[in-house]
Structure 1
Amino acid sequence: MSFEDNKMLIMPAVDIKNGKCVQLVQGKPGTEQVIIDNPEKVTKKWEDEGAEIIHVIDLDGALKSKDNLNTIKKILGEVSVPIQLGGGIRSVDYGKQLLNLDIERLIIGTMAIENPQTITELSDEFGSDKIMVSLDSKDSKVVIKGWKEKINKTATDVSKEFQEAGAGSILFTNVDVEGLLKGFDIQPAVDLVNSVDVPIVYSGGVTTIQDVKKLTKTGVKGVVIGSALYKNKLNIKKALKLQNIE
């Protein structure tokens, strides 16, 4: 599914840890506020509710403990809507393995920061539309390695480098507000949209239908929503009605 000019895709988040669907606060292990068995059934639920694409993150992979490849395969077997997938992609070979599973889009974070050439290699083979770079921001600086290590650059600083390297889109996560259900500052998303020509997907702090409405005015092409959906702060069907932008 390619990004469209007058559409902002609503992307329910399915984060996997220990084979379960979870929601963490600011990505910190031990802060699980939602734990649900059978992530594939959760993914199917979002498809049944009308989601056109689902955002799946392997948290164990991101935290280097192990991967949830079997669960990912179950999800792909359960749903027919596109899946964009990230978490723990530390090598080009593993990236290729995942892309060959027929996922819609691969999300790469730490590996892209440490070795931008890997983005070029994967986009050359699979097409730039298949490659999304994840830029996670904490205290206005990019963080890597499961949000544990900060580099001295902003998301805007590095976004242009990744566009040139072959990334077809960018996922921007505001770690400062991730999982807190307290809203977010819209300006970083606007700055990033204005800095590059590739589509931007926003994640972090989206709590209310008003938050979704705010994002429709930024130029982002997608918004990832997690905790607000699982805690019934936000109704997905109402959010989906805002996908088409006038």
Structure 2
Amino acid sequence: MILYPAIDLKDGQCVRLLRGEMAQATVFSDDPAAQARSFAAAGCEWLHLVDLNGAFAGQPVNAAAVEAILAATDVPAQLGGGIRDMATIETWLSKGLARVILGTVAVEDPALVRAAAKAFPGQVAVGIDARKGRVATKGWAEETDVQATDLARSFEDAGVAAIIYTDIDRDGAMGGPNVEATAALARAVSIPVIASGGVSSLADLTALRDTGVIAGAISGRALYDGALDLQEALATLKA
């Protein structure tokens, strides 16, 4: 199972939100590139980047910070937030991003996801963010009647590289991930599923890993707060 350290970007800074509330942002660093170098030095295999402003704006807002991160390290990075058309997908991949994450458009324009996954094999992931099993879009500001499992299954034959599943109620709350719901989703589809939201300890990581069906886990606040040591976590997952 791969551990993805998270760099959430708001107004050019590294922040963490509590349950997706922009007003509940804690700033952890004003130098995203330095943060990326720190994670890379610890030995991470991937970086998980989110343009929080972009998720609300519907277009990239923290592009300069993302580009600085890409320039600062050779570790492959995936990015979500405000990526809602083919031109933006093409631009980011051409700038060296390893993978784009499509969230809102997965609900509103599934044909775009399919076209992008076909055009860029292995470089398109779907972000499914849910409250009590129902998908939320536009930076989690809008809730839909779409069930997370149904949305995931709809892309079974599309060739997407991964599904990033976020339990919004767990995100940034340091209360542990929703292992049961994430594992159930992973068993429902053949697409690799990455867990996000609430991963705050080694015990959380091993619980996700020990399901045997979850391909990755994203952690942010726990790494910044020191509740989780990145080097120790990476070593534990490799053991």
Alignment partner for residue 181 of structure 1, among 158, 174, 185? 174
Residue 242 (structure 1) shift: 2.9
Alignment partner for residue 43 of structure 1, among 36, 44, 57? 36
List per-residue Cα deviations over 1:65-114 (Å, max 9, x = no partner).
86111111111100011011111112111111111112111101001111
- Give the 3-state SS of the residue equivalent to 1:41 in structure 2: helix
Paired amino acid for 1:126: F
Q: After alignment, is 220-229 or 89-98 more displaced?
A: 89-98
The answer as to 2:100 corresponding to 1:138 is: no
Greater relative contact order, per chain length (Cα 8 Å cut-off, separation 6+): 1
Query: Which residue does 2:222 correspond to in 1?
Result: 228
The answer as to 2:21 corresponding to 1:28 is: yes
List per-residue Cα deviations over 1:8-32 (Å, max 9, x = no partner).
0011000111111111111111111
Alignment partner for residue 162 of structure 1, among 138, 155, 170? 155
Q: Is the 8 A contact 2:118 2:158 kept in 1?
A: no
Q: Is the 8 A contact 1:117 1:165 kept in 2?
A: no
Q: 1:244 to 1:154 in 2, by over 3 A?
A: farther
- Give the 3-state SS of the residue equivalent to 2:74 in structure 1: coil
Give the number of equivalent residue pairs. 237
Equivalent runs, 1:1-246 vs 2, <5 Å: 8-64=1-57, 67-127=61-121, 129-218=122-211, 219-244=213-238
Residue 34 (structure 1) shift: 3.0
- Give the 3-state SS of the residue equivalent to 2:90 in structure 1: helix
Q: 1-side partners of 2:89 and 2:223: how far apart?
A: 29
User: Identity, % of aligned pairs?
Assistant: 32
Q: Is the 8 A contact 2:20 2:171 kept in 1?
A: yes
- Give the 3-state SS of the residue equivalent to 1:184 in structure 2: coil
User: What TM-score do the two structures reach when normalised by structure 2?
Assistant: 0.95
Query: Which residue does 1:3 correspond to in 2?
Result: none
Residue 191 (structure 1) shift: 0.8
Q: 1-side partners of 2:30 and 2:237: how far apart?
A: 29
Gaps of 5+ in 2: none
Gaps of 5+ in 1: 1-7
Q: 2-side partners of 1:169 and 1:32: how far apart?
A: 27
Residue 241 (structure 1) shift: 1.6
Q: Is the 8 A contact 1:172 1:189 kept in 2?
A: yes
Q: Is the 8 A contact 1:22 1:36 kept in 2?
A: yes
Q: After alignment, is 112-121 or 31-40 more displaced?
A: 31-40
Query: Which residue does 1:5 correspond to in 2?
Result: none
Q: Is the 8 A contact 1:34 1:230 kept in 2?
A: no
Paired amino acid for 1:87: G
Q: Is the 8 A contact 2:114 2:158 kept in 1?
A: yes
Q: Is the 8 A contact 1:119 1:166 kept in 2?
A: no
